[in-house]
């Protein structure tokens, strides 16, 4: 009975180690420029197109003062802090593509 219990325990440990190795294989450390390239790849560039369109809207609204949009600084700061935290984690520990999709 003991050998069966020992074999079962070793099999469970082996499966857990393989699952952890598979998870780590999907993780990629991305720092600096490679992080930005991965985000652009993950988002398909649509975010950058949207930013350009927003800038054009703001430039045209300068002609009409009533059309200016007001930004909420606290929300911008929180969003910036979240992006910075994700960037740090991706550089230090690594991240998956699903993590990068949060930035889109």
pLDDT tens digit sequence for 58-97: 555 555 555 555 556 677 888 888 888 888 989 998 998 8
Residue 104's pLDDT band (cuts 50, 70, 90): confident
pLDDT tens digit sequence for 4-48: 776 677 666 666 666 665 555 678 899 999 998 998 888 886 555
**Nearest CA-CA partner of 35 in 95, 79, 98:** 95
Contacts of 6 (CB under 8 A, 6+ apart): none
- Quote the CA–CA distance of 85 and 82 in Å, as a whole number: 5
- What residue segments make up the domains of the chain, in order of their start? 26-103
């Amino acid at each position: 009975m003991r050998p069966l219990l020992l074999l079962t325990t070793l099999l469970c440990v082996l499966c857990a180690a393989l699952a952890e190795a598979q998870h780590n294989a999907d993780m990629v450390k991305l720092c600096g420029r490679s992080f930005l390239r991965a985000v652009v790849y993950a988002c398909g560039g649509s975010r950058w197109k949207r930013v350009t369109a927003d800038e054009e809207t703001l430039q045209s609204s300068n002609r009409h003062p009533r059309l200016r949009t007001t930004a909420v600084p606290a929300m911008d700061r929180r969003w910036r802090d979240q992006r910075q935290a994700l960037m740090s984690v991706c550089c230090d520990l690594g991240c998956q593509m699903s993590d990068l999709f949060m930035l889109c």
